[in-house]
Chains A and B, each alone.
Chain A
């Protein structure tokens, strides 16, 4: 799946875009889109796995790329979930409208990731990768297509996340505050 060429994936995006436009026009959800989304999700997942254990570039470049592919997968999965529940929740054609809002940003991020390929990221590419991911999450949030933290934690070890977070937060605190005795009071 990961070996699929750039035009193939572009064509997947185009098919999904066209399906969404038809659904909005006809005000009817067509669950055929689930299969189309599954194809994209599978592709993103392969890329995510590839970058998770990748040692061919620096750990920070690998993380930026893993982070971006992972977000594409998570958000595409949330879109899929929304379509599955659309009829039950009477969100027709709102789900299609929200999906169509999100699609161009997903496509932008995918295009950027395809351009940078498998190499070490330059500083600008690193910034663009993170900015593209942030932009995608922002639009997903405002379209109701962002998995909640609890949804995301469901597939993870919450205790380990908390421990990692505490270590991370302590690191932030140390880099921001020269000394513990300093305070506003």
Chain B
């Protein structure tokens, strides 16, 4: 452990990504409506808890967002309403109320966060870096296929299990291998949305400007485990190839709201 005098004190900043803003707004409305079905949901609840934690830290300006995030979140909420209309038809009056109050909750949440200006030149620079990073990851993802993961699972089985259990064990090993590479596997089949790349470029530009002022740890809270938060299977296998790469390349620590909430609670 380093002596107290040498320890660098990092300030913490947390960017709330679209998925968390939507989840927390939905949860707050769910609470007001006393909807028992959604209230204990494992994704909505932690998002709301993180927002509550950031509300306590308004004066430290811990929670931040950018204009792009606000625009994209509002659009995502409206798109969800449009999808709902197209899918189920919906009672317009009910849907108006849902959009109004989820939207209001979103606006109130944005009011406790700091809207950060982003240097547009640095954003453009980082956007090209983000594109480069994802093309590198895509190259890695091309080797993560059904066939290669099955082959790896079978190889692992051959060295770890007795022959008579091979068939069953190979299925388990293959599943575990796939879970372990799930972020890359998902990336190979679902290209990252341009708006997510823009948000990441803005986060990278923000880290750069924060770090120029003072030592900073920048987190990005997300429930999007395809790349902005580690994907963890029910039996604890973590796939974080993309989130780790983001941290390595841009110093942005992408994680689930509950994990970032824990970091904040430990701070004085």
Contact pick for A60, options B26, B33, B85, B226, CB 8 Å: B85
- Is B218 among interface residues, defined by CB-CB distance under 8 A? no
Q: Is the CB of B258 within 8 A of A137?
A: no
Which residue in chain B gives the minimum CB-CB distance to A67?
B96
* Per-residue B-contact encoding for A153-185, CB less than 8 Å = 1, 0 else: 100101011101111111111011111011111
- Is B91 among interface residues, defined by CB-CB distance under 8 A? yes
Most buried by B among A160, A168, A171: A168
Give the interface SS of chain B, mostly helix, strand, loop or mixed. Answer: helix
B72-126 with Cβ < 8 A to chain A: 74-75, 78, 80-101, 103-104, 107-108
A19-74 with Cβ < 8 A to chain B: 52, 59-60, 63, 66-67, 70-71
Which residue in chain B gives the minimum CB-CB distance to A182?
B225
- Is A149 among interface residues, defined by CB-CB distance under 8 A? yes
Q: Is the CB of B84 within 8 A of A167?
A: yes
Identify the stretch in B58-66, B147-155, B164-172, B228-236 within 8 Å (CB) of chain A at 4 or more residues. B228-236
- Is B223 among interface residues, defined by CB-CB distance under 8 A? yes
Q: Is the CB of A137 within 8 A of B100?
A: yes
State whether A169 and B96 are in contact (beta carbons under 8 Å apart), knowing that A181-B233, A184-B232, A184-B255 are contacts in the complex: no
Contact pick for A164, options B42, B82, B95, B224, CB 8 Å: B95
Q: Is the CB of B94 within 8 A of A161?
A: yes
> Which B residues lie within 8 Å of A138 (CB)?
107
CA distance A160 to B88 in the complex (A): 14
> Which B residues lie within 8 Å of A114 (CB)?
none
- Is B43 among interface residues, defined by CB-CB distance under 8 A? yes
Interface size class of B (residues with CB under 8 A): 35 or more
CB distance from A65 to the nearest CB of B (A): 11
CB distance from B7 to the nearest CB of A (A): 28
Q: Is the CB of A59 within 8 A of B86?
A: yes
CB distance from A112 to the nearest CB of B (A): 16
Most buried by A among B35, B100, B186: B100
Which residue in chain B gives the minimum CB-CB distance to A134?
B103
CB distance from A2 to the nearest CB of B (A): 18
Q: Is the CB of A164 within 8 A of B90?
A: yes
CA distance A176 to B108 in the complex (A): 22
> Which A residues lie within 8 Å of B90 (CB)?
164
State whether A184 and B19 are in contact (beta carbons under 8 Å apart), knowing that A156-B93, A167-B88 are contacts in the complex: no
CA distance A164 to B182 in the complex (A): 33
CA distance A173 to B91 in the complex (A): 20
CA distance A63 to B90 in the complex (A): 10
Which residue in chain B gives the minimum CB-CB distance to A60?
B82
CA distance A130 to B82 in the complex (A): 12
Most buried by B among A141, A165, A175, A182: A182
CA distance A142 to B86 in the complex (A): 33
Contact pick for B46, options A66, A173, A184, CB 8 Å: A184
> Which A residues lie within 8 Å of B81 (CB)?
63, 168
For the A-B complex with A178-B186, A178-B225 known, give 9 more contacts whose Cβ atoms are closer than 8 Å: A52-B92, A63-B85, A127-B75, A130-B74, A134-B74, A138-B107, A173-B41, A184-B257, A185-B232
A-B contact pairs, 28 of them (CB 8 A): A52-B92, A63-B81, A63-B92, A131-B74, A141-B104, A141-B108, A149-B29, A152-B97, A152-B100, A156-B94, A162-B35, A165-B33, A165-B94, A167-B84, A167-B88, A168-B95, A169-B38, A169-B44, A178-B186, A178-B226, A179-B231, A181-B232, A181-B233, A182-B231, A182-B232, A183-B232, A184-B258, A185-B232
